[in-house]
């Protein structure tokens, strides 16, 4: 494969749903890259289109009402949007794999852990059943399950949430994919278990040199894991940059609000600083202007009329906000109080 492109290039992705006979976009013009071995975190509140974006990459959208209607998803330069279901099945698990928030929904309750892990390995290799079972046991050890010889004979419900997520990680990395997509992989877990799973993911990413596309609403996870950050709001990318600049020089009022909503260690918190208002639903999406305008502390009258474009303010740092568009009044002014 040619070497001049990223591992994953999402270009102008538009994905939507048929809702009561009308088509509404949940992802509208999203573009970003994931380079080999890079950890990219996509952040945003619930309902911003993060899962729809990641399901689009895996082509796992609900068939009855969801579809990608514009854009490209290039993996090693090949457009996944053009692949048949059969071709896509070869990509899933082998080149790209995905772990979800709730491992119980991804694991089959009536099959043993060993069977489910063996199956992935058998699907993508010519190894014998015995070789595969040995590898399954080793994989479970690699994800920190010490009694893996027993666990292969157990069923998902016999394991704790954290253990199930470890199993999912083992299944996801079984074929050493170049890209792992993790959609809120720790959200459903207890805080201490969350930290262990994140630690494990970091270690595996490091050992295997995989790229990771991590979906989260948790900026703590971003600080722990990310090389690059993509901030999504209402189906669009509103800011994108390397992780240091997101935390130290955030530009978009939405990114700033997200950062302000993290409780600070040194503060006594009586009330979390949540962002006022809610993410608009697909049916209530503003038809023109900035999608954040109603919740934005820096909104200007023209924000309701003009669609802001995602533009670079600095090399590798892009923002979708009129405050930073040089042709607009108020542009490039320092808005942080
Ligand atoms: N199957 C679906 N049918 C209709 N609307 C959907 C469907 N899945 C997601 N949506 C809508 O798309 C938007 C983005 O959802 P989602 O990607 O799940 O958000 P996030 O993962 O960022 O919390 C939401 O408004 C959600 O209600
Ligand atoms: Mg989601």
Rounded to an integer, what distance in angstroms lies between the CA atom of residue 30 and that of residue 50?
Answer: 10
Residue 14 contacts residue 282 (beta carbons within 8 Å)? no
pLDDT averaged over every residue in the chain: 91
Statement: residue 320 has pLDDT above 80: yes
Rounded to whole angstroms, the Cα distance separating 192 from 3 reads 40
> Do 231 and 252 form a contact (C-beta atoms < 8 A)?
yes
Average pLDDT on 181-208 reads 92
Confidence of residue 112 (pLDDT cuts 50, 70, 90): very high
Q: Which residue CA neighbors atom 27 of ligand 1 most closely? A: 47
Asked if the model's pLDDT at residue 25 lies above 70, the reply is yes
Helix extents (H) in the chain: 50-58, 85-91, 103-106, 113-123, 129-142, 148-151, 161-173, 191-208, 219-225, 243-248, 253-260
Of 42, 72, 88, the residue nearest 240 (C-alpha): 42
Ligand 1: which residue has its CA nearest to atom 14? 49
Report the share of the chain in percent with pLDDT over 70. 92
Mutating to test ligand 1, I would choose from 282, 285, 286 the residue with most ligand atoms within 8 A of its C-beta, which is 282
- CA 184 to ligand 1: nearest atom: 21
- CA-proximal residue: ligand 1, atom 24 (nearest): 47
pLDDT category at 19 given cuts 50, 70, 90 is: very high
So what's the pLDDT on residue 253? 97
Q: How far is the CA of 216 from the centre of ligand 1 (A)?
A: 14
How many secondary structure helices (H) and strands (E) does the chain include?
Answer: 11, 12
Which residues form the pocket of ligand 1, taking CB atoms under 6 Å from any ligand atom? 17, 19, 26, 44, 46-52, 62, 65-66, 281-282
Model pLDDT, residue 337: 41
pLDDT in tens, 132-151: 999 999 999 999 999 999 99
How far apart CA 267 and CA 138 sit, in angstroms, is: 45
Residue 333's pLDDT band (boundaries 50, 70, 90)? very low
Residue 336 pLDDT > 70: no
Which residue's C-alpha comes closest to atom 18 of ligand 1? 51
Please state, in angstroms and as integers, the Cα–Cα distance from residue 133 to each residue in 90, 137, 274, following that order: 21, 6, 48
């Amino acid at each position: 494969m040619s070497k001049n492109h990223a591992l994953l290039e999402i270009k102008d992705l538009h994905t939507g749903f048929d809702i009561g006979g009308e088509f509404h976009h949940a992802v509208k013009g999203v573009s970003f890259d994931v380079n080999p071995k890079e950890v990219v975190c996509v952040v945003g509140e619930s309902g911003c289109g993060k899962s729809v974006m990641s399901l689009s990459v895996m082509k796992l959208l609900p068939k009855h009402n969801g579809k990608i209607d514009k854009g490209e998803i290039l993996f090693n330069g090949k457009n996944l949007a053009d692949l048949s279901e059969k071709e896509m099945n070869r990509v899933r698990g082998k080149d790209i794999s995905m772990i979800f928030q709730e491992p119980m929904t991804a694991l089959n309750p009536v099959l043993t852990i060993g069977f489910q892990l063996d199956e992935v390995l058998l699907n993508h290799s010519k190894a014998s059943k015995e070789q595969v079972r040995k590898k399954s046991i080793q994989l479970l050890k690699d994800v920190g399950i010490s009694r893996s010889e027993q666990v292969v004979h157990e069923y998902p419900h016999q394991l704790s949430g954290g253990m199930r997520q470890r199993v999912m990680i083992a299944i996801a990395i079984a074929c050493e994919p170049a890209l792992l997509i993790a959609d809120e992989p720790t959200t459903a877990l207890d805080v201490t278990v969350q930290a262990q799973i994140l630690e494990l993911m970091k270690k595996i990413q490091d050992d295997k040199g995989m790229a990771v596309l991590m979906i989260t609403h948790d900026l703590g996870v971003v600080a722990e894991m990310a090389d690059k950050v993509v901030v999504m709001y209402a189906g669009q990318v509103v800011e994108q940059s390397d992780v240091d600049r997101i935390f130290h020089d955030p530009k978009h009022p939405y990114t700033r609000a997200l950062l302000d909503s993290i409780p600070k260690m040194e503060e006594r918190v009586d009330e979390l600083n949540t962002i006022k208002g809610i993410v608009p639903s697909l049916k209530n999406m503003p038809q023109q202007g900035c999608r954040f305008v109603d919740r934005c502390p820096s909104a200007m009258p023209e924000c309701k009329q003009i669609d802001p474009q995602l533009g670079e303010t600095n090399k590798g740092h892009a923002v979708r906000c009129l405050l930073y568009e040089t042709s607009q009044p108020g542009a490039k002014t320092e808005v942080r109080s």
